[in-house]
Amino acid sequence: MPTIDPLTDLGVRVTPNGGQLRVWSAHATAIELCIFDEKDPTWVAASVQLTKDAADVWSGASPSLVAGARYSLRATGPTGPTHKFDSSLHLIDPYSRGLARTAAGDWRSYVQDDAFDWNGTKKPNTPLDHTVLYEAHAKGISKLNPAVPEELRGTYAGLANDTAITYLKDLGVTAIQLLPVHQFVSEQRLIKQGLMNYWGYNTLNFFTPHAAYASREAQFGGTGAVLREFKGMVKLLHEAGLEVILDVVFNHTAEEGIGGPTTSLRGLDNASYYRQDAKGNYIDVTGCGNTVNFALPAAQRLVLDSLRYWANEVQIDGFRFDLAATLGRDEKLDFDPNHPLLEAIVNDPQLENVKMIAEPWDVGMGGWQVGNFPDRWSEWNDDYRDRVRNFWLTDIAATRATGVAPIGIGQLASKLSGSAGVFSQERGPLASVNFVTAHDGFTLADLTAYNQKHNLGNGENNRDGTDSNHSFNYGVEGPTHDATILSAREKAIRNLLGTLLLSAGLPMITAGDEFGRSQRGNNNAYCHDSELTWLPWEHEDWQDDLLLISQKLLRLRNENPALRPVRFGIFGETVPSATQMDWFNKEGLSMSITDWDSPAERTLQYLAASTPEFEEFNRILLIVHGLEVEETVTLPEHEGVTSYELLWNSADDHAPKEIHAPTTELKLAPASMQLFRAH
């Protein structure tokens, strides 16, 4: 594979004599820089014809190209099925760090004022094994927060309000993972329906923060004000020890299909930036109308330069890559785990210690690539999600219906211990981002309350959103006053949270799941910017109780390194920062093949001991019982273990902290978990 040669000076660079602009296009025959009147963003006050060098970089300079100056590009080029040049269109600079809109809705790049005083604030650099991700929406997290001044609710400043930061710290998460905050627009289809893109997976530009998430004061505060508010948010979160991870959408752009709006890449060099056949038909492996062509260096450079900008100049701590399999497709559209872009992202010296997380699939052929990314990548593990949901929900439903569980406990055990069957020995358990829910799908509470999606409000006659939810409503679809059903649902939520936060790997919580937020059965609420999707800050009593349990589970995870190994253990060897695992059945004996596979035997005892490298020795015992009948277990005997101290019981969070000797018999409540510290 060729080495990527980033051109880090693309875009505008301000000089003492104005500014210089550099833009890449291999097929253009002429590119004109247009600089607009200071008071009228529709009037071209000056223009410069750019000149092309041997690297296909077009450049030009102007004394008017100063901070605040609005500008565009007009490109001329050949005709033909793969080209979409139109010299009448004012295009966005792909490297523009500031964007403004005219009264008619057209976009203009502007020269950014990026001055900001970080005042010595440093990135937290939280070790990966101590990291807990909290996936949230930049607007939705504070829109309903009554403690935030009204004018700051739903803004970057509101997210960084003291109450929000205190909440995140008290919860115990270490990083907030924001849904897309690159400048985006709603799809043409949604606009025609009178809807909008709330999630933001329709990127207009890879270098500019979404202005609508800034406060009104910042939006009308002149050049640099929105960026300063964004950086101020990052600074305050860092001062509190919280990392900021951005969900980035490089796989496609807001230019959509051929009939979509031409705003930037299509007008500058459609043949280079987008995947298409010889007839100019777009080859779409994203399901979003277009696919950026990462087989060519220009798109690779664009991604790397964007990451460098956000990681270094905006101090972002990590990135979650939407449909990341697309970034690893070669010239034949095959996924290549050694793709130069995938390798460069984790090996670039300018991105050292930046966390990289892949959504390891897209909708093209061979699109599911979980476990196949290079070293130093972490990946969303959808197999973990589905297996955990099945064990606590659909398996329970099937058992109620037939009297027999459909599967034993073996598959869940592999997920508890880090998904070694999915990720290589070299990559270890932290390659797995464990999640039970995400922005896309049911919330945790809705998993226990709905068997079917309820998406009519999305305007697609309930056709959108997955039908494979792995959920169980416990007998009633949606809200109920039945105390027995409510109790079962709440315990199921505790079991799901407990499994997530006590598993080896990198856990991700979806905002609101820690207290049981509902979206009323909508499993694809991407087009709702309303109280349906905003985070509620006023809770019912059971939600406050669940929040306390979430805090407790996160505290227990932090206090017990045996729950968060860095490496997989190797039988017969002592591997630093790994976990020595022993598995016992309900009788306290080593698990047999029958114990692993039998649907009648869904109880196990997982004894995990750390192999210290940086922390004190620690050993835990996790008991999982996956049938809705009471069960008796015998605590296992193990060399060096003299007692077991109860830390948490999913069936009774107020259970006393009893200490039991090995061989003690304990009663397990139906479908429950218990965590002990072994001494």
Rounded Cα gap, residues 22 and 7, in angstroms = 10
Rounded Cα gap, residues 265 and 32, in angstroms = 15
Q: Secondary structure of 615-678 in the HEC alphabet?
A: CCCCEEEEEEECCCCCEEEECCCCCCCCCEEEEEECCCCCCCCCEECCCCEEEECCCEEEEEEE
The strand pairing partners of 56, in sequence order, are: none
Q: Which of 33, 153, 43 is nearest to 531 (CA)?
A: 153
SS3 category, 368: strand
| Cα Rg of the chain (Å, integer) | 27
Q: What are phi and psi of 92, to 5 degrees?
A: -75, 135
SS3 category, 108: strand
Are 177 and 135 in contact, with CB atoms under 8 Å apart?
Answer: yes
Q: What is the four-CA torsion angle of 272, 275, 281, 284, rounded to 10 degrees?
A: -150
Residue type, 620: I
Please say if 53 is a catalytic residue: no
Which of 269, 284, 305, 359 is labelled catalytic? 359
Which of 256, 322, 379, 513 is labelled catalytic? 322
Please say if 322 is a catalytic residue: yes
Cβ contacts of residue 540 below 8 Å, gap of 6+? none
Rounded Cα gap, residues 109 and 447, in angstroms = 44
Q: What are phi and psi of 401, to 5 degrees?
A: -75, -35
Q: Which secondary-structure segment (H or E) carries 52?
A: strand 51-52
Residue type, 502: L
Rounded Cα gap, residues 22 and 49, in angstroms = 12
Rounded Cα gap, residues 328 and 515, in angstroms = 37
Rounded Cα gap, residues 439 and 238, in angstroms = 24
Known catalytic residues?
Answer: 322, 359
